[in-house]
Amino acid sequence: MCGRYALTLPQEAMVQMFDAAPANDLPQGPRWNVCPTTQIPVVRAGGEGRALVSMRWGFLPHWYTSPTDGPLLINARAETVAEKPAFRTACRERRCLIPADGFYEWTKAADGTRLPWYFTQADGAPMVFAGIWQDWGPENLATCAIVSCAAGPTMSEIHHREPVTLAPSDWGLWLGEEGKGAARLMQAAPEGRVRRHRVSRAVNSNRAEGPELIEPLIDEDDI
């Protein structure tokens, strides 16, 4: 599962990292609390190479008559993404990379309070989520979803799902640049790739922003 994440990489860094041509309408950063339905930077492949473009986080199947015509599809389950009518063509033909610094997930205290955790790459490198995308509507609005899978060791104590994260050596295969076989990439991160720490409950608000949201929690009153 991935319902919120942080992205502070400058556009120039993403262009260089992915060797991608940037679009003119990329959303401005940094952003420490990226929420569903907002525009996010996404890397997709094309005939002229990779492009860094803006997409709505929230996949819209072609039969939706409006963005609110059905469930908000921010994640696509790895186990069924190739079969579900909403996702199967995109899984086969339109896969993408979604860069992030890290993502948030929540546990619950005994009184029901939501307690946020922040997950990052253990080596400090940016995360890259496996995604799928689709143009929707008469204006061809580009929309996307993050592929999720059963949680691995680092994640399973917090949540039963996690976003599929890709190593740089896997980017080309996921984008379809290296032929078939991308299905094997839809699995949990290997043990040791991801680390986590508790963060302030301030991030529970989807309007919160700022670097303090990802700082390790030190206030005992917020545990």
Domain ranges for the chain: 5-104+126-193
Question: Is 220 a residue whose pLDDT tops 70?
Answer: no
Look at residue 203 and tell me whether its pLDDT is greater than 70: yes
pLDDT of 218:
75
CA distance 212 to 28: 19
Residue 191 CA: distances (Å) to CA of 66, 122, 133, 174: 41, 10, 28, 21
Rounded to an integer, the average pLDDT of 16-34 is: 96
- The answer to whether residue 223 scores a pLDDT higher than 60 is no
- Strand residues in the chain grouped as ranges (E): 5-7, 21-22, 31-34, 39-44, 51-57, 75-77, 95-100, 102-108, 114-121, 127-136, 141-150, 161-163, 194-198
The residues near 203 (Cβ < 8 Å, ≥ 6 apart) are 4, 32, 33, 104, 116, 213
Mean pLDDT of 128-142: 96
DSSP 8-state symbol, 207: T
Residue 141 has pLDDT above 90, yes or no: yes
pLDDT at position 222 over 90? no
Q: Which CATH superfamily is domain 5-104+126-193 in?
A: SOS response associated peptidase-like (3.90.1680.10)
Residue 116 has pLDDT above 60, yes or no: yes
CA dihedral 205, 29, 143, 5 (to 10 degrees): -40
Where does the pLDDT of residue 2 fall: very low under 50, low under 70, confident under 90, or very high at 90 and above? confident
